[in-house]
Structure 1
Amino acid sequence: MSSTPTPAPVRKVGLIGWGAIGRVVGSALAAGEIPGAELVCIVDNRPLGDTAPAPQLTMEQAMDACDLIVEAAGQGVVREWGEPILAGGTDLLVASTGALTDDELAKKLLAAAPGRVYFTGGAVGGLDLLQAVRAMGRLDEVRLTTTKLPATLEQPWMDEELLRRMRTATGPVELMAGTAREVPVKFPKSTNVAASVALAVGDLDAVRVRVVADPAATSTSHVIEASGSHGSYRFEVRHLPDAANPATSQVVPYSVLRSLAALTGRGGQIL
């Protein structure tokens, strides 16, 4: 005697942020492109009026109305609201992984319950392989080089000399070299990739990061090189920057959507 399979419950999704990433993610959800996910609300600190495809709620209202919240608004949101969202029983999908370079915050999020926290890979690939290699033993060396247009990398902490070098450069200029713990703090909108690599490797201090400004760059480039006793690995990705926000890559919202599809149980996913 056969039985009819019980349909999976629909995830009620709230979206934080209606910027370059949030608009793509929210529009796809509203159009029903992610089976098993329903866009319930949008949270943003600006009035959205009739431009949004779902009601605009406060964060507290979203936590009550949703069982999954997608962060697409920056590291500050993760720091302020990550733990309360999880403690309230709502799951959280984080796009701004750079916030996890704060050890105390990372520990709080990973320990918070009953909600569960997930991270999306964003603009970089190879993380699944790095996690698999990590299970065999520690990687001896992991390097990440990120190259972007100078204007997308300007930061308030930069002195006039560094800004002048960036703005007048005719070739690549290294802006900073350090660990995956240090660099995302200085470039909060441009180095979530560094934190994602470190999460895959399991050690913020083991990942050495270089940030390079190149006036000739036609795409955003991330090069990951890793080696250990079990082998050596190299991944290179080149993305067109998002037209609305050149600091991020066009692919990032689609990475978020892929993560959502995996969370809602859509078949055929490469995990």
Structure 2
Amino acid sequence: MSTSPKHAKTPTTAKNLKVGLVGWGAIGRVVGTALARGEVQGAELTCIVDNRPLGEAAPAAQVPFEEAIEACDLIVEAAGQGVVREWGERVLTSGTDLLIASTGALTDDELAKRLLAAGPGRVSFTGGAVGGLDLLQAVRSFAPLDEVRLTTTKLPSTLEQPWMDEELLERLRTATGPVEVMSGTARDVPVKFPKSTNVAASVALAVGDLDAVRVRVVADPGAELTRHVVEASGPHGEYRFEVAHRPDPGNPATSQVVPYAVLRSLSALAGRSGQIL
């Protein structure tokens, strides 16, 4: 999605898109390394923003957020929903574009409205660890969906949250099989699991209705793969998508595929020829 097509910092076609990367974790390292190696045609890594020291191995300068906004054409968020809430509007009003990986932040209606109203920078989001979003968008434009369900299954340790009481934590830690941790709408669940349920927000954004998507979060000690099952139906047909990803070894709450989804979105924004949108 985007705000105004006007963009104060849009580079000419002869120049690479200057990219500022926010976050040097499981997602950011893969994205930043690929950019630094020139693997995204039409884009280059200009700087990195992170509140931790990066060390000498970082492929670009570490700078304050304000400096990154000033120096870059595009800011890539790879550091969590809090960054979107704190900095999203400031990025866009400066005339810099914003690519959001933590789509769960957009389940906050007021925040989403402010981001869409801000400009002249444009805001986009990546679907991350789930497929079929383009089809859901196409179906929605044809006729409303009657029912959309998402079931996300992950290792129990990746789902523990500060708000959980001792009883629920004990159920997670002693589970010998699948345990339903929470059920609700795509409006409610990402708030409770800010690092684990961005997929719910991505599906809801594709469907166009946060309350229409019913979400189940399941903890399974045998879940070697993180699994997302999307089921949708309406008068025009029935649809089912299932994906199963290996968790990132360093951050099991994130699937290994997510940074590559970000890179694909970057390629599209940089205008790589032959990109399927």
State the TM bucket, normalised to the shorter chain. over 0.9
Kindly state the Cα deviation for residue 269 of structure 1 after the two structures are TM-superposed: 1.6
Task: Supply the distance in 2 between the matched residues of 1:86 and 1:267 (Cα, whole angstroms).
Answer: 26
Counterpart pick for 2:177 among 142, 154, 171: 171
Q: How does 1:28-47 map to 2 (within 5 A)?
A: 28-47=34-53
SS at match of 2:56: helix
- Within the alignment, does 1:156 sit opposite 2:157 as a pair? no
Aligned twin of 2:8: none
Aligned to 1:245: 251
The residue type paired with residue 62 of structure 1 is A
Q: What is the CA distance between 1:37 and its match in structure 2?
A: 0.3
CA deviations over 1:108-156 (Å, ceiling 9, x no partner) = 0111110000000100000000000000011000000000000000001
Which residue number corresponds to residue 118 of structure 1? 124
SS of aligned partner of 1:236: strand
CA drift of 1:51 comes to 2.4
Hey, what does 1:104 align to over in structure 2? 110
Q: TM-score, normalised by structure 2?
A: 0.95
Partner SS state of residue 216, structure 1: coil
The amino acid of 1:29's aligned partner reads: L
Q: Which residue of 2 aligns with 1:3?
A: none
Unaligned runs of 5+ in 2: 1-11
Partner of 1:128: 134
SS where residue 51 of structure 1 aligns? Answer: coil
Whichever residue aligns with residue 77 of structure 1, its letter is: V
1:222 aligned counterpart, secondary structure: strand
Question: What is the rounded CA distance, in whole Å, between the counterparts of 1:245 and 1:145 in structure 2?
Answer: 21
Structure 2 matches for 1:54-65, cutoff 5 A? 54-65=60-71
> Structure 2 CA distance, aligned partners of 1:125 and 1:27?
24
Deviations 1:66-102 (A, max 9, x none): 0100000000000000000000000000000000010
Counterpart residue type for residue 182 of structure 1: D
3-state SS of 1:139 partner: coil
- 1:231-260 alpha-carbon deviations (Å, 9 max, x no partner): 110000000000010000000000000000
TM, length-normalised to structure 1: 0.97
| From 205, 208, 211, the counterpart of 1:202 | 208
AA aligned opposite 1:120 = T
CA distance in 1: counterparts of 2:185 and 2:50, whole angstroms: 32
Aligned mates of 2:76, 2:254 — CA distance in 1: 17
- Work out the number of aligned pairs and report it: 266
SS in 2 for 1:245: coil
Segments of 4+ moved more than 4 angstroms: none
Secondary structure, in 3 states, of the residue corresponding to 1:174?
strand
Partner of 1:214: 220
| Cα distance between partner residues in 2 of 1:120 and 1:231 | 26
Shift of residue 8, structure 1, vs aligned partner: 4.3
3-state DSSP of counterpart to 2:157 = helix
Quick one: distance in 2 between partners of 1:47 and 1:222?
A: 34
**Percent of aligned pairs sharing the same letter:** 80
Note the aligned Cα RMSD (angstroms).
0.9
- 1:79 is aligned to 85
Matched, 1:90 2:59: no
Distance 2:143 2:14 in 1: 37
Tell me the amino acid that sits aligned with residue 122 of structure 1. Answer: G
Corresponding letter in the other structure for 1:144: L
**Partner of residue 32, structure 2:** 26
1:7 deviates by 4.5
Asked if 1:259 corresponds to 2:265, the answer is yes
State the alpha-carbon separation in 2 of the partners of residues 141 and 236 from structure 1.
16
Shift of 1:213: 0.1
Cα deviation for residue 164 of structure 1 reads 0.8
Indicate whether 1:193 and 2:199 are aligned: yes
Distance 2:150 2:275 in 1: 27
